[in-house]
Structure 1
Amino acid sequence: MQPKAVAKVQTNSFSTATKAALVGLMALTLVVLQTVMAYAKPESLAPLAEKISPSVVNITTSTLVEGRTGPRGIVPEGSPFEDFFREFQDRNRENDDSQTPRRSSALGSGFVISEDGFVVTNNHVIEGADEITIEFFSGEELVAKVIGTDPNTDIALLKVEADGPLPFVSFGDSDMSRVGDWVIAMGNPLGQGFSVSAGIVSARNRALSGTYDDYIQTDAAINRGNSGGPLFNMDGDVIGVNTAILSPNGGSIGIGFSMAANVVTRVVDQLKEFGETRRGWLGVRIQDVTEDVADAMGLENATGALITDVPDGPAKDAGLETGDVILSFDGAEVEDTRGLVRQVGNSPVGATVRVTVLREGKSQTIAVVLGRREDANGEAQPAQEEEPETSEAPEVSSLLGLTVTPLTDEMREELGASAQMEGLAVTNVEEGSEAFEKGLRAGDIVTEAGQQKVKTIADLNSRVDAAREAGRKSLLLLVRRAGDPRFVALTLEEQ
């Protein structure tokens, strides 16, 4: 019996020790969690706000606008009251100064980036302004001049002349910002004066409507008047310029967008040096490589940028061709068209870069000397080819949900195509077909199939047969509409 009693005592002793250990472990865990939370979210943002607020400014713009012209057409012409009403209007004009030009004011935000007075804001804040006034946190006001603007990223660089060095802030590495990181926004919301709001990074790499967009999405409150103000990380570095909000009522609903600092710094450096932007220009029209396009081209992965046209420019001079898939640019892999556009735009004008393309199943690298995007002359015209002689009567054929016929001079004129363009005109698209779902319509022109030119119905049929023999599930068509090209992959029917 004694061993049982001893065993019982030992069991009770072990249970007590275990409980004590668990209590100690829980206390330690609580301390660790409190420490982590303290680091993750400071008890107060006041020290940080006090440190960086002197560099944040309110911006007031003044624009001269024409006066009102008064109501017109209130009394029908020929009415017996017409003369009376005209005299009434004339008398009011003599006593009304509303016809004289007036000044209109607008409010925004900005921040100082150097002690000698360079200020960053949004282009839309100061666009068209006759006079720009900068109000500092201290209440001091200075008149600013515009150094340069970039409507593509909605960034403007201003300059003020102060008696001494100004407090300023520095840009941080926006690529290091993570979804969930704490941020604070500063500015002049709704013209109420200096204000601070806090939140987190809600998303990264957002695109709105611009070619070079790279927005940080945040739920830190951004309202009208915050435009041009800075978005700070917890180190006090600017990681974005508050630019836009998504809202049904014009107020903050927790979806705000700040242009990433790594985009802004490149723009600001060029504006400071040249007074304008100087972006690289490759000179190609491109589209994303989708899954069906990749299958039609026999590609393993749906990545890269597919060239749909090569007008006169650097790419044409270097030997890039329609149908090439750009895999890498200047040593960096190309994921999609948006990434390529940004890579090219961030490259220096005149630089020689190596562009790796996939052409007819083989990879090759081509050296291209970049031009300047801002110097590109609008829409370049496609290269001209000699018009072949033909005396065959036009054929009509239905294939892949399309009814097509070879182009005639009358069709070229009707569709706005150049006299040198060859291909098949789409005269009808079967509703409910894959071609219809992918946006093909009557009036489109098919110029290539399977990355080979097509001029006749026989050409198109042979491309279909070749694709089937190669085991392809779809056929890649190059389609032009009003001169704009794009590739479309259509599934081949089983025989």
Structure 2
Amino acid sequence: MKRIALIFLAAFVGGAAAIGGYKMFEADNNGLSLAEQQNLHFASNPTNISSAGAVDFVQAAAGVSPAVVHIKTTFASSGNSRGSSPMDMMEEFFGGGGSRRQRAPRAASGSGVILTPDGYIVTNNHVVDNAEKIQVILSDRRKVEAKVIGRDANTDLALIKVDATNLPVVKMGNSDNVQVGEWVLAVGFPLDLQTTVTAGIVSAKSRSIGILGREQQQPTQEEYEEYQRTGKAPSRTNQSIESYIQTDAAINPGNSGGALVNANGELIGINAAIASQTGTNEGYGFAIPVNLAKKILDDFKKYGSVKRGYVGVTFQELNADVAESLKIEDITGLYVSDVMPNGGAAAAGIRKGDIIKRVDGKEVFASPDLQEKIGRMSPGEKVQITLSRAGKEQQVSVTLKGDESIEKPKTIFASKATGTTIDKLGASFAPASPALKAKYGVKSGVVVTGVEPGQQFDDFNVPKGFVVTTVNGKAVNTVKDMEAALPTSNNGLTTITGVGANGTFTFKFR
């Protein structure tokens, strides 16, 4: 009996010490990263969920659903329409073909995932961008206001915070371990319904769909108005990082910012976009990998913004067609088109014409293979890059540099000062990048970065991202080329040819 009493006493003292230690850490966790807070929480609160190979998702859904929240946002009625609706990203990828952008809604909704018991919540940037008020509806139906800790358009991630305690949490998993064909669940608030769980498989990894780059090229209303007043174009460059997990789990408007979890109930991605011609699920959903999100979210928590490192190169993906046009034999890897003078690549000796084959030993086939890896790193960190130069491989160590090393090419607007002919187009343009030209298999082009309602391009439903290749039969690569080619029309009939997501088009007008 005495032995049993001693065992009981020892267990009691040990449990009390563990609880006391946890409470001590819990009281002072502001200095911990989100991952460290999660490790502390789940070490003290073990989950009881199904194994990764289970076909029955009941336990995983039950464990995750309470920590996925409904986010409702309100906007000023006269606010800037760009990015103000959680559905903007989805609308951009729905294939609307240049339909006019409507005024910003007064209210919209999305989803979010609770990461810590004290109220840190991850969602999409496009869910909270420009919102005047952010309201979070918790699983117990409480409504609490949230503040933005940080947001990043380059990855479409945002971290918000609510003033609450003892909240349910979704455990962050390891998206590097996700396999094509693996069962996954999408959890969120689609179409303003209550918590909804759908199941599917991982269809692909490291998927780039170009949606963030197109969104960044569109000038804001404030930028355009500033340009009209001063003639000064804003400094803009595409620094977006896309390396999505593609799934066929049903994702609809309202799922933005919600959880993509494995059968273990672990968060592996943040649902961000769908590919659809109708505006609802057609079997292609895209989620931001959680391993990329971890670094971004911790930067938000520490600094309020992202501290991003850069290699300092521009490149294009190689395939058989691109290799043929460049007159090289390599058909895999990333062809270095240019090297930034002040970047880490230049310091490491990387040259134009080099081909990036591996990053930290991992083979590189497409831009997401490089971008996601670098996106998880900070300025000052080193990355090992294996190059092919003149048919021979060599390895270099690149120290990543910060924003100061990146050149800021300017977006060029179609200026009213150039005359009524180009003004009639009612669009803004920028030179098409080598990667974009390679994507569409063209040698010339300027990309449409914005379309004004009621003008010529709008009447023809020319969308952002469309690449104008020739004007009146002449190849164009800059706005000056367009200005020079437009007056050469015969009998006042202007002919413009270009290519976009839906194919090659030629349209004529007077």
Do both share a fold (TM > 0.5)? Answer: yes
8 Å contact from structure 2 (residues 312, 405) kept in 1: no
1:250-269 → structure 2 map (5 Å cutoff): 250-269=279-298
Q: Distance in 1 between matches of 2:315 and 2:71?
A: 40
Residue matched to 2:224: none
Residue matched to 1:172: 173
The CA deviation string for residues 6-54 of structure 1, in whole angstroms up to 9 with x for no partner, is xxxxxxxxxxxxxxxxxxxxxxxxxxxxxxxx96422xx4443332222
Look up the SS of the partner of 1:208 in the other structure: coil
C-alpha displacement of 1:369? 2.5
**Which range is displaced more, 368-377 or 294-303?**
294-303
8 Å contact from structure 1 (residues 201, 219) kept in 2: yes
Q: Distance in 1 between matches of 2:206 and 2:374?
A: 17
Q: 1:131 to 1:329 in 2, by over 3 A?
A: same
Counterpart of 2:313, as a letter, is V
C-alpha displacement of 1:336? 3.8
1:272-291 → structure 2 map (5 Å cutoff): 272-291=301-320
Counterpart of 2:376, as a letter, is N
C-alpha displacement of 1:438? 5.1
Q: Distance in 1 between matches of 2:273 and 2:348?
A: 39
8 Å contact from structure 1 (residues 55, 168) kept in 2: yes
Look up the SS of the partner of 1:64 in the other structure: coil
Residue matched to 2:125: 123
8 Å contact from structure 2 (residues 243, 371) kept in 1: no
The CA deviation string for residues 306-356 of structure 1, in whole angstroms up to 9 with x for no partner, is 222223222233332222223333444433444223333333211244434
Identify the match of residue 379 of structure 1 among 404, 409, 424: 409
The CA deviation string for residues 371-405 of structure 1, in whole angstroms up to 9 with x for no partner, is 1247623139xxxxxxxxxxxxxxxxxxxxxxxxx
1:138-149 → structure 2 map (5 Å cutoff): 138-149=140-151
Look up the SS of the partner of 1:158 in the other structure: strand
Q: Distance in 2 between matches of 1:56 and 1:271?
A: 20
Look up the SS of the partner of 2:265 in the other structure: coil
Look up the SS of the partner of 1:272 in the other structure: helix
Q: Distance in 1 between matches of 2:262 and 2:250?
A: 15
The TM-score with structure 2 as length reference comes to 0.56
Residue matched to 1:370: 400
Counterpart of 1:270, as a letter, is D
Residue matched to 1:151: 153
Residue matched to 1:65: 77
8 Å contact from structure 1 (residues 282, 313) kept in 2: no
1:218-233 → structure 2 map (5 Å cutoff): 218-233=247-262
Residue matched to 1:244: 273
Identify the match of residue 41 of structure 1 among 52, 55, 80: 55
Instruction: Please say if 1:328 is aligned against 2:343.
Output: no
Q: Distance in 2 between matches of 1:170 and 1:267?
A: 17
- The alignment's C-alpha RMSD in Å is 3.5
Instruction: Please say if 1:342 is aligned against 2:356.
Output: no
Residue matched to 1:182: 183
Q: 1:374 to 1:238 in 2, by over 3 A?
A: farther
C-alpha displacement of 1:299? 6.7
C-alpha displacement of 1:266? 2.3
Identify the match of residue 53 of structure 1 among 43, 52, 65: 65
The CA deviation string for residues 94-152 of structure 1, in whole angstroms up to 9 with x for no partner, is xxxxxxxx992111111100111100111111110011111101011111110111112
Counterpart of 1:213, as a letter, is E
Q: 1:374 to 1:105 in 2, by over 3 A?
A: farther
Residue matched to 2:241: 212
Residue matched to 1:440: 443
Query: Mind listing any 5+ residue stretches in structure 2 that lack a counterpart?
Result: 1-51, 80-103, 213-239, 411-429, 432-437, 447-475, 480-510
8 Å contact from structure 1 (residues 278, 374) kept in 2: no
Instruction: Please say if 1:358 is aligned against 2:360.
Output: no
Q: Distance in 2 between matches of 1:360 and 1:47?
A: 55
Q: 1:219 to 1:329 in 2, by over 3 A?
A: closer
Counterpart of 2:131, as a letter, is A
Residue matched to 2:136: 134
**Which range is displaced more, 181-190 or 323-332?**
323-332
Residue matched to 2:47: none
The CA deviation string for residues 224-278 of structure 1, in whole angstroms up to 9 with x for no partner, is 1111111121111111111111222212223222222222222212222222112
Look up the SS of the partner of 1:242 in the other structure: strand
Q: 1:179 to 1:309 in 2, by over 3 A?
A: closer
Q: 1:119 to 1:306 in 2, by over 3 A?
A: same
Q: Distance in 2 between matches of 1:331 and 1:219?
A: 30
Q: 1:362 to 1:219 in 2, by over 3 A?
A: closer
Q: Which has the higher contact order (CA 8 A, sep 6+)?
A: 2
Q: 1:309 to 1:117 in 2, by over 3 A?
A: same
Residue matched to 2:20: none
Counterpart of 1:171, as a letter, is M
C-alpha displacement of 1:221? 2.0
C-alpha displacement of 1:216? 2.2
Look up the SS of the partner of 2:346 in the other structure: helix
Look up the SS of the partner of 1:357 in the other structure: strand
Residue matched to 1:449: none
8 Å contact from structure 1 (residues 279, 374) kept in 2: no
Q: Distance in 2 between matches of 1:217 and 1:331?
A: 24
Aligned residues: 321
Query: Mind listing any 5+ residue stretches in structure 1 that lack a counterpart?
Result: 1-37, 68-101, 381-415, 418-434, 444-479, 484-495
Q: 1:282 to 1:39 in 2, by over 3 A?
A: closer
8 Å contact from structure 2 (residues 67, 114) kept in 1: yes
Residue matched to 1:201: 202
Counterpart of 1:51, as a letter, is G
Q: 1:335 to 1:442 in 2, by over 3 A?
A: closer
Instruction: Please say if 1:104 is aligned against 2:106.
Output: yes
Between the aligned residues of both structures, percent identity stands at: 40
Counterpart of 2:208, as a letter, is A
Q: 1:177 to 1:324 in 2, by over 3 A?
A: closer
